[in-house]
Amino acid sequence: MMWKVILYCCLLTEAGRLPMVLAHQADVQLGSSVTLPCLDIKHTDITADLDIQWWTGEHLVTRFQLGKIIQGSRYINRTDLSTKRLRKGDFSLLITHTEYSDSGQYQCVLIKNGQSMTLGEVDLEVKVRRPQRALFIKSGQGVLLSCFGHVDWSGSEAAFVQWKRWTQVVVQWKSGSLFVDPMFEGRVSVLKDRIKHGDISLIFNDTRPDDQGYYVCFFKKNNDIRPAAVINLTVTENMSRITADSGSQIQLPLPNESQVSLSFLPDGGNLTVSVCEVERHLLTCTSHYTNRTLLHNTTLILTNITPPDSGTFIVRDRGTGRTRSVVIIQIFNVGTNKITFGISIIPIVAGVVILVVLSAFSGYCCHKIQKVSRSMERNRKKETEKETEMNLLQPTEVITHEATRSCNESAIIEI
Ligand SMILES: *[C@@H]1O[C@H](CO)[C@@H](O)[C@H](O)[C@H]1NC(C)=O
Ligand SMILES: *[C@@H]1O[C@H](CO)[C@@H](O)[C@H](O)[C@H]1NC(C)=O
Ligand SMILES: *[C@@H]1O[C@H](CO)[C@@H](O)[C@H](O)[C@H]1NC(C)=O
Ligand SMILES: *[C@@H]1O[C@H](CO)[C@@H](O)[C@H](O)[C@H]1NC(C)=O
Ligand SMILES: *[C@@H]1O[C@H](CO)[C@@H](O)[C@H](O)[C@H]1NC(C)=O
Ligand SMILES: *[C@@H]1O[C@H](CO)[C@@H](O)[C@H](O)[C@H]1NC(C)=O
Ligand SMILES: *[C@@H]1O[C@H](CO)[C@@H](O)[C@H](O)[C@H]1NC(C)=O
Ligand SMILES: *[C@@H]1O[C@H](CO)[C@@H](O)[C@H](O)[C@H]1NC(C)=O
């Protein structure tokens, strides 16, 4: 057994094709760019008929062949292979505007003498921000409820994608056919060509107070229907923002109804807490609020506010359950503000001085860089003349361009 393995390796080495596959891991935030590394360990004999291919599963991502870059249909205008680096045996692939569906295993394959050789593998994970659990929106406005998933496909159609509000189906795609609940007709959509990219977000065109509720997105993956994002959507006719200083008081106008409840969702929190109930001008508050609240006609006054009071106050009609108003409050700590204002002049002056020194210095540096880059260019010209028979790649002018541009920029700073 052992002998066989060694012999196998020897044969491969003899043929110069030791399949030493390097596996990498890469993470990227949705929409950002990422470079998938791939180096030809030997980086020799890069010839004019270089054929390098990037694959993920069955899909071609990008191919460099006969000096041309070909992009797979899912990657049009989103990938790049640096021709300058290819020449040095660096076949790393840049993917821009990453989509959720870009997650997966990528292979970097070199084709040589009709034989393919996998040079590297990269596991790419595209990360999405955790969806907001609670969303507050003024009625009439649009809103996007985010949801992402690796959806099963049946042919060219998504197998199953659905949004529900409580138990009511809002919108659904099932093997190419679309269902929209009459209540949401013309107001919601889940775009078919976005599902392709793993984006099953619900686009709400125009919201109404009745749309309030829990929204859950479902999709079929590996033949299982599973829930993804859960969003508590609150739609209100009255939405306002208040900023106040710590220690002061805030006024929350209440509707004229006899039965009103007030609750609070702290910033960054995920649990709504009860604050007060108002019934026929009688105020009943939870212990944390009893000594800090008073009712003046139809205005609730909250005193001694502190930064932990920053968040969202929700006023509901207890009879109908409707959200009557939402007030988003941000409390600033006055004490620290004053102190920072007192000394803030010093860092500003220091900043200005540093900036002046830096801009003068960069002006000087730039001329140096230009000199260096001019001599580099002369050297490069000589080099390229030698290499023209290779006729593989364009000579690069990047360094000179950058030097010139940054000189112009520093000139602007100096003025
Ligand atoms: C790719 O870019 C070209 C040129 O900017 C543009 O004409 C084409 O529509 C783009 N294709 C896609 C699929 O975005
Ligand atoms: C959203 O509203 C615009 C007009 O305001 C309309 O053209 C568009 O079709 C609507 N989208 C959906 C999904 O209903
Ligand atoms: C969902 O939001 C409403 C405010 O509109 C709130 O009353 C309710 O408690 C929230 N649910 C949870 C579980 O936080
Ligand atoms: C609002 O409250 C006042 C008393 O504070 C009452 O006289 C008036 O009828 C109320 N209006 C409505 C529409 O309930
Ligand atoms: C709510 O937040 C707490 C920490 O603030 C966390 O432990 C808990 O898991 C969160 N609950 C949910 C449902 O996200
Ligand atoms: C509210 O104030 C009373 C006295 O004015 C005090 O006895 C009580 O402990 C206070 N409650 C809270 C929750 O601070
Ligand atoms: C609040 O109530 C007082 C009587 O308690 C009344 O004089 C005043 O006009 C009311 N203010 C408003 C804005 O309704
Ligand atoms: C909106 O709030 C104001 C007070 O801030 C109130 O007079 C008005 O009736 C509210 N509108 C609705 C639809 O609740």
Taking CA atoms only, the protein residue closest to ligand 6 atom 13 is: 287
What separation in Å is there between the alpha carbon of 384 and the centre of ligand 5? 61
132 lines ligand 3 (CB under 6 A): no
**Does the domain made of 16-127 have the CATH classification 2.160.20.10?**
no
| Residue 251 confidence class, pLDDT cut points 50, 70, 90 | very high
Q: Looking at ligand 6, which atom is closest to the CA of residue 291?
A: 1
Residue range 322-348: average pLDDT? 71
| Residue 114 confidence class, pLDDT cut points 50, 70, 90 | confident
pLDDT at 185 over 90: yes
- Which ligand is in closest contact with the Cα of 232? 3
Pick from 146, 135, 225: nearest CA to 190: 146
Q: What is the pLDDT of residues 63-105, one digit of tens each?
A: 999 889 999 999 999 999 988 888 888 999 999 999 999 999 9
**Does the domain made of 134-236 have the CATH classification 3.20.20.70?**
no
Q: Looking at ligand 2, which atom is closest to the CA of residue 205?
A: 1
- Which ligand is in closest contact with the Cα of 285? 6
Rounded Cα distance, 216 and 84, in Å: 48
Q: Looking at ligand 1, which atom is closest to the CA of residue 76?
A: 13
**Does the domain made of 239-338 have the CATH classification 3.90.930.12?**
no
- Which ligand is in closest contact with the Cα of 131? 5
pLDDT at 130 over 80: yes
Phi/psi for 389 (5° steps) reads -60, -25
Query: Higher pLDDT residue, 106 or 237?
Result: 106
Residue bearing tokens 């009712």: 295
Distance in angstroms between the alpha carbons of the first and the last residue of the chain:
76
Taking CA atoms only, the protein residue closest to ligand 6 atom 5 is: 291
Report how far apart, in Å, the C-alpha atoms of 335 and of each of 244, 307, 342 are: 13, 12, 11
pTM comes to 0.73
